[in-house]
Amino acid sequence: MRRIVSFLVLVLACTVPVGPHGGPFAQAASMRWPQPKLPTVRIEAGMHVIRAELADTGRTREIGLMGRASLGPNEGMLFVFERKGVHCFWMRNTPLPLSIAFIDDDGRIVDIAQMAPLSEQSHCPSRPVRYALEMEQGWFARRGLQPGARLRQPELFGAIR
């Protein structure tokens, strides 16, 4: 009888639903290891070309650049949301200092924030946006890009949805 009860407890423990993000073990794993490189899009920022990994699902947005030790020159991550909103970001488990540009539907930069590594401080746009672009810290400033500057990515910015 004791063996049957132990067996049933083990079976029940193994069949607990894990939810849309893989449950606690998958979430813990995502904090230790970066997600594989994602498909990229080309974004033009004046004369500069950015190769941005596309985080366009709940799971890829949740992991973002967590665990990444470096970014290549002109590489970043573009977060794409289904709807405009005040989408806030933090740097939990992200060891890289980053700059984030919040971008409106037409590709105009609304705000740029500087994000410290491994911080849980929230960084939010001043108004609802659909896009956010993370780059190595200082990337936008070194290129003279500030709020109001326009980025070009024809398949996303300005596309009819």
* Of 59, 99, 64, 57, the residue nearest 82 (C-alpha): 57
Task: Identify the residue whose tokens are 């200092």.
Answer: 97
Under 8 Å between Cβ of 104 and 110: yes
Q: Can you identify the CATH homologous superfamily of domain 30-142? A: Protein of unknown function DUF192 (2.60.120.1140)
pTM: 0.79
Residues 6+ apart with CB under 8 A from 86: 124, 125, 127, 128, 129
Give me the helices (H) in the chain, please: 2-14, 23-32, 58-63, 139-142
Q: Name the stretches of the chain with pLDDT < 50.
A: 1-30, 160-161
One-letter amino acid at 10 equals L
**What distance in Å separates the CA atoms of residue 123 and residue 135, rounded to the nearest whole number?**
14
Q: Express each pLDDT in 11-56 by its tens digit.
A: 333 333 333 333 343 344 445 567 789 999 999 999 999 999 999 9
